[in-house]
A and B are shown apart, each in its own frame.
Chain A
Amino acid sequence: MSTVQFSPHTTGNSLVHRLSPLTKLTFAVTVTVCAFAVVDYRWPLLLFCALLLPAAIGAKVLRRFLLMLATFWVPVAAVLFVVQGFFFPEAHDVIARFGPLELKSEGVSYALLTALHILVLMGGFFLLLLTTHAATLMSALSERNVSPSLIYIVSAALQIVPTLSRRATRILHAQQARGQVIHGLRGRARALVPLVGPLILGAFTDVGERAAAMETRGFGATRRPTSLITVPDSAVQRSARAAMMLCAVVAVTVNVWGVMR
């Protein structure tokens, strides 16, 4: 399972990289909302080709962008076409037959639309992740008065996950390297416990000390913490965000009204 590496993407220095993370986050949310708002497969395709692809090219992250879509979007899209192409409820218009299975046009068009929606959703967030350092995003959020506890939890998890993951992988590799042959599901599960157990228990036991360290360093002591670094923002970006949010709100309102009617 490959993972989206969040932190190493600070090398770029394109316009997209330099945008405030909030702008990119608002963009990802808005473009997703807009994609879902219109029932026509050409619309999300247009959003992807006219906005997301050029942005990825401009940020010089196109290769990684496409690679990530290939890893995460293509499997979902494939399953989607199989499940809905053949098993879409109450579909009748058969296009092709594969043995007992019937491919139906309603299912295919639904799968196409949904797959493109997911493409835009994933694309918007990949663009944010590929061009933003986690630290900048967290600083930007804390400047917007997001609770320090929330910032702490997300930041700490982002840093502890790789550390603990590495230790777990090392344990699993060591287990394989010792040539242990493990049969069956129960065997596999039983082999894992003595190895992973101490790792997890250790991580939990550390919590008390970490809390003590945080409190003695004033965590939660003031309502208004200051920040060492600032995240550049501009009036243009602020108004762009306002416009995008307005756009998203209108799209949602129109849709909710349409559904309720």
Chain B
Amino acid sequence: MIEVKGFSFTYPTGSRPALHDIGFEVGPHELCAVVGGSGAGKSTLAGVVSGTVPHLTGGCAEGLVQVNGRDLADTPLSGLVGQVGLVMQNPFNQISGARFSVREEIAFGLENMGVPRDEMAARVDTVLHDLGLTKVRDRSPYELSGGQQQLLAIGSVLVMRPTVMVLDEPTSQLDAAGSALVFEALGTLREQGVTTLLIEHRMERLARAADHVLVLDGGTIVAKGSPGEVLADERLEEWGVAPLRYTVAARRAAARGLWPDARPLPVTLDAAAEGFGATVAHLDRGDR
């Protein structure tokens, strides 16, 4: 459970707030996606919800951030271990470097929490299997490809079974198969009741996976709602987010009266195919 109310934050060296008057809620079993252009404050928001901002960066914070009912302003980072998991944008920095094999790297968090060895081994092996890393389990984390490192970074957080997951562009270096694995794992987590905050630029995946979408621009939330509402908004491009091509195509078609009136603009490929299919069928009938 994530609850943010009237939250503003300025970095110690910043002249203007990185986040301004942010408010949103994400409940258990929910996946909330955050989109926005670069410099919009997405990574800062990920840091805020995971407790690293402002605890590690310093800076001036106002407003409320609660995770699982605890106010982060008075919770040290060590108090959140095992509750909040943070997957960073750059897997190279997420990998601790303290361990020499993939398997041990995944175990690092559990070792720090003092989990007994047998339980640890079982949990690590499950995660290795789920993310398709079993083949490389004895390799050095630094010998992996960028995509594999990203999976490893995610696995090293998943294994700690946090109730709140914060992911900052976790699939940026992954191919289609790799990101499918990640979204599958996220789906499983959601079923288990995990609260997820996901920063992601692959709109087509988001549209299917997210319950809500927030749009950040210049440190403020400029839109929030269901993926269908937000991703079809025509101001998306003004906010620095590239809209889906088939949404744009449908909007242009609608402007020329070629999109079924009752249908909302599509944000998934299936919805787009159905809509255009309906238009074509309608035109066919009209021709006849």
Q: Do any beta carbons of A and B sit within 8 angstroms of each other in the complex?
A: yes
Query: How many whole Å from B258's CB to the nearest CB in chain A?
Result: 48
Q: Are B112 and A222 in contact (CB under 8 A)?
A: yes
Query: How many whole Å from A134's CB to the nearest CB in chain B?
Result: 6
Query: How many angstroms from the CA of A135 to the CA of B92 in the assembled complex?
Result: 19
Interface residue? B276 (CB, 8 A) = no
Query: How many angstroms from the CA of A220 to the CA of B79 in the assembled complex?
Result: 11
Chain B residue nearest to A160 in the complex (CB) = B97
Interface residue? B116 (CB, 8 A) = yes
Q: Are B78 and A155 in contact (CB under 8 A)?
A: no
Interface residue? B19 (CB, 8 A) = no
Give the interface segment out of B26-34, B100-108, B201-209, B279-287: B100-108
Q: Are A217 and B160 in contact (CB under 8 A)?
A: yes
Chain B stretch 222-265: residues in CB contact (< 8 A) with chain A: none
Give the interface segment out of B80-88, B174-182, B266-274: B80-88
* Chain B CB within 10 Å, residue with most, of A210, A213, A227: A213
Q: Are B108 and A217 in contact (CB under 8 A)?
A: yes
Interface residue? A211 (CB, 8 A) = yes
Q: Which residues of A contact B56 (CB under 8 A)?
A: 208, 211-212, 215
Query: How many whole Å from A119's CB to the nearest CB in chain B?
Result: 30
Q: Which residues of A contact B109 (CB under 8 A)?
A: 217-218
Interface residue? B50 (CB, 8 A) = yes
Chain A residue nearest to B111 in the complex (CB) = A225
Interface residue? A152 (CB, 8 A) = yes
Which one, B85, B140, B157, contacts A7 given CB within 8 A? B140
* Chain A CB within 10 Å, residue with most, of B90, B103, B109: B109
Q: Are A155 and B94 in contact (CB under 8 A)?
A: no
Chain B residue nearest to A152 in the complex (CB) = B98
Interface residue? A192 (CB, 8 A) = no
Q: Are A222 and B113 in contact (CB under 8 A)?
A: yes
Interface residue? B115 (CB, 8 A) = yes
Majority secondary structure, A binding face: helix
Q: Which residues of B contact A148 (CB under 8 A)?
A: 112
Query: How many angstroms from the CA of A159 to the CA of B82 in the assembled complex?
Result: 26
Q: Which residues of B contact A11 (CB under 8 A)?
A: none
Contact with B along A199-231 (1 / 0, CB 8 A): 000000010111111111111111011111110
Q: Are A228 and B111 in contact (CB under 8 A)?
A: yes
Q: Are A206 and B112 in contact (CB under 8 A)?
A: no
Q: Which residues of B contact A219 (CB under 8 A)?
A: 96, 112
Contact with B along A151-167 (1 / 0, CB 8 A): 11001100110110000
Which one, A135, A163, A222, contacts B100 given CB within 8 A? A135
Which one, A138, A162, A212, A218, contacts B112 given CB within 8 A? A218
Interface residue? A18 (CB, 8 A) = no
Interface residue? B36 (CB, 8 A) = no
Q: Which residues of B contact A133 (CB under 8 A)?
A: 100
Contact with A along B58-102 (1 / 0, CB 8 A): 000000000000000000011011101110101011101111110
Q: Are A135 and B99 in contact (CB under 8 A)?
A: yes
Q: Are A135 and B104 in contact (CB under 8 A)?
A: yes
Interface residue? B51 (CB, 8 A) = yes
* Chain A CB within 10 Å, residue with most, of B47, B56, B100, B157: B100
* Chain A CB within 10 Å, residue with most, of B57, B93, B156: B93
Query: How many whole Å from B171's CB to the nearest CB in chain A?
Result: 18
Interface residue? B121 (CB, 8 A) = yes
Interface residue? B142 (CB, 8 A) = yes
Given A212-B47, A218-B78: A155 in contact with B90 (beta carbons within 8 A): no
Query: How many angstroms from the CA of A208 to the CA of B120 in the assembled complex?
Result: 28
Query: How many angstroms from the CA of A162 to the CA of B81 in the assembled complex?
Result: 31
Which one, B81, B93, B99, B107, contacts A155 given CB within 8 A? B99
Q: Which residues of A contact B99 (CB under 8 A)?
A: 135, 155
Q: Which residues of B contact A7 (CB under 8 A)?
A: 100, 140
Query: How many whole Å from B142's CB to the nearest CB in chain A?
Result: 5
Q: Are B124 and A228 in contact (CB under 8 A)?
A: yes
Q: Are A156 and B52 in contact (CB under 8 A)?
A: no
Q: Are A155 and B98 in contact (CB under 8 A)?
A: yes
Q: Which residues of A contact B81 (CB under 8 A)?
A: 216-218, 221
Chain A residue nearest to B112 in the complex (CB) = A218
Query: How many whole Å from A118's CB to the nearest CB in chain B?
Result: 30
Interface residue? B194 (CB, 8 A) = no
5 nearest A-B pairs in the assembled complex, by CB-CB distance: A156-B97, A218-B112, A135-B100, A217-B109, A218-B81
Residues of A within 8 A of B (CB): 7, 133-135, 138, 148, 151-152, 155-156, 159-160, 162-163, 206, 208-222, 224-230
List 9 interface pairs A-B (beta carbons < 8 Å), by A numbering.
A155-B98, A209-B93, A214-B96, A217-B112, A218-B112, A221-B78, A222-B112, A225-B114, A226-B116
Residues of B within 8 A of A (CB): 47, 50-52, 56-57, 77-78, 80-82, 84-86, 88, 90, 92-94, 96-101, 103-104, 107-117, 120-121, 124, 140-142, 156-157, 160
A156-B98, A228-B107 given. 15 additional CB < 8 A pairs? A148-B112, A152-B98, A155-B98, A159-B140, A212-B47, A212-B50, A213-B86, A214-B96, A216-B81, A216-B84, A217-B96, A218-B112, A222-B112, A222-B114, A226-B110
